[in-house]
Structure 1
């Protein structure tokens, strides 16, 4: 009891001081406890005013809870013969399950809010034995070592649960009792319990790999047909798939499969390989428990028509537009449509979203010959009459190929005037660009209606397989080939998750931002991507406020060199809160190395 009196006095001295003037930790207060108290105070908590936070949603039946529940049955004797409670939390401090045999203890815990469906992390209730998830080792917090006055009559021992395969923190197990029932055996008991949980998780992990192998075996009935079974970490292929795919990066295959599973796509989809081959992929989930449980890809190589083969280039397997790159199914289909208009005099209107490369396409259709460009936006800024005179001056050039940009911006009167000018002196070849939403306009544009051939450039978000080629092409263009810069597959995969509302213009701006001034021989990885891009690459759409929060988190992580403790402190939150926010926002830190 002398320790209790001495500690309580030291506690009062420390917690009654101003945050900026906390005294040095007395000998009786362990550094781990003192550091947690300090973090709790920095987060604005008060020992007499903390409450477990009730959550709107509970995950009592999640993966961790299902793994732990069978282990509890083997250790029930300790709970039946003593006033102890066993508590399971996830890595964010959310209480998932509680096992307690003593009705009186259960009632007290209910009154304190220590029940499933509440949050008990450090940023919510201050110091508890859940700091084990911060320190990474088993911890015991006795009586007044708790930050909250409400918990000073209790002791708890906790040990973190670390996944035996990927070594990620999953949560914790805690044994709780009243202070006077504290026993030295509590912490070793929890450590032994968590060891049993870890073994069960190892068996489950082996089961997952076995499940992947079983799914592969079930679909690999004919070794002549390519079959792949994979998840984010494992890939199994037969010989036919290995020959077909060659050095194709696993991240490309898994991202294609993951999108198919998340979007619940029905039926075969197409995938274009780096060598230009187009595959038909039937993606089938290994398990419907989670979106990352794995998939089986049944692959067929698409047969090319004789006409397509005759016009095929050796490099890309199809007729590529001069100066442009791409190999995705969407881009190949566009190039096939565009190839019919190359070298002809047919007026062509190229539509698409802003920044999708419409002007580059019009220039490619003329084989990169001298093409004169006039912007219809000038009709508004300079006046329709003067703009038509500029148009007429370009038409006086012999054999001119003319591109009218942003033709949708012409007013009905300006469009009629331009059409009259073009009829008086038609160019050798007329092309125009227009943003796709322009066709929804209620204003009639006679010039738009005059085009008999219309090509729609696919948006960047539909060109997943093109990112590697596009980034390499834009990098070489920005560096003029003088600097050798390589992008890692992880960086390309992260970029492919974005929606890119600015399309190629936005991608080019990012490439320019990262490669200009970079020395030769450097690699660009995920750690070099701006935080705002990583935030936008969340696995679910984010609202504007969520985007701001996600960007703040990625900024803090980048500034801290990936140190999550340091990032959490700079944000003024506990590390467990940081994990919870990252998980809630759907941010992917698995391949992010700072």
Structure 2
């Protein structure tokens, strides 16, 4: 593919389409490539701003890793082949952080420095939008981005092709190899070269994989087939988890499990307990592996292992222990979901987008049915035929069957899906479904669907349980960066408490991600929050309006709320800034206190 091949196929320019997507619009399908459009939508959901480029920097990049050692000879060969050309070669880890950069053209090197495409900076989609590195990570496939196809305008001067690197034994994503050049120098060979280089690095990793790791993989696969529960394999440099373990464990738990399992093994025992990062106690069953120092672990939460009798003593009406929030509305919703899961009553969960409908159901399953499989069928992704096919193959021992986005299809298909789900044995399968509801409470389901369910519960929007935000903020930050690395200053927290959150918890999470992009460690301040948090307007802003609003908010924050000084810095009149403040509904913390 060449840079010219990526030109828009309609009358609109890519920049016009991009602004339309950034403001929540939907362009014609013939204007931009499908893969690019999907990535642009993800970028908008991340909260990436089209005119902003500020990737986070981590000076503690580790180069002496398995990936670094395997990639080095491939990078050497590729850099030598491209010597004298205006083409750079980059290696990143699985999070999009640049580990190495090879570039012989001084002018291109300066430009890459200008756009922060250098070791230590993160080029994940979450931080810089559509690009060859981050989009390859998200799609798990080679990804080419030409010039203006980048979501953020400062990257439109380059084209890039990234290819993911997978571990040949575990299948885990290890990193990305990327070729980047100026947009006018793009060539169809870039994507091919990147893909071949990724395969070469995977082969180098395979050469490093010992016979002990192969033995560990065989033992892990064997345990996964027979266990039917969370299985983890650990060694010095490798951690493998099955689907059940991935749903149960946080990233920090991998280290906890490895350390505790080694301690139990040294004591000559095969069973032991470990306290997970969530605060829950887990039971471990260890299996040694012949020919390998690694261990295979079966993991079961202690409260599940004790059986239903111990669980029944739990106080009714409490808030969900796995999800942040303790308000009455949240606790009442959780009590209904939990009771239905425990008794097997068929449940429909409705609510606005981003309220946490699926999270509640998964938490209920983990509380009461963790020892049995969880199946989530996303009707919006699978379509009716795909969902029906999956239902037809569902095992009778399935513990929980969740139909997500049930309202994404027509009423007749909704009935067909529910009839198929109701054919599963009720004694062993709990069936629940989620569907969206507008802010006025209107559901997207047909009138005959409600009769299929024993109970219907509506998850309250965040604005109706705003007091939970004080618990949600640290929980969401902890999930992203870990404990004690970052906190929110009182002025910023007050701004968050005043926002109406039309996108609910999902919008709050994106807002915090945006703030972390500006300040990855230390206290998050008022000026780190995106401009939307400071506004009360309900109308959807265009991309240009959003950029203008954010500039005004930032200037006001920098000037301590002084409108005249902010107008002077922006080069606009006093009348203009007052008109813009009223039009965008901008309310800063200082004004909020005066309004109380």
Asked if Structure 1 and Structure 2 have the same fold, meaning a TM-score greater than 0.5 normalized by the shorter chain, the answer is no
Larger Rg: 1
TM normalised by structure 1 equals: 0.42
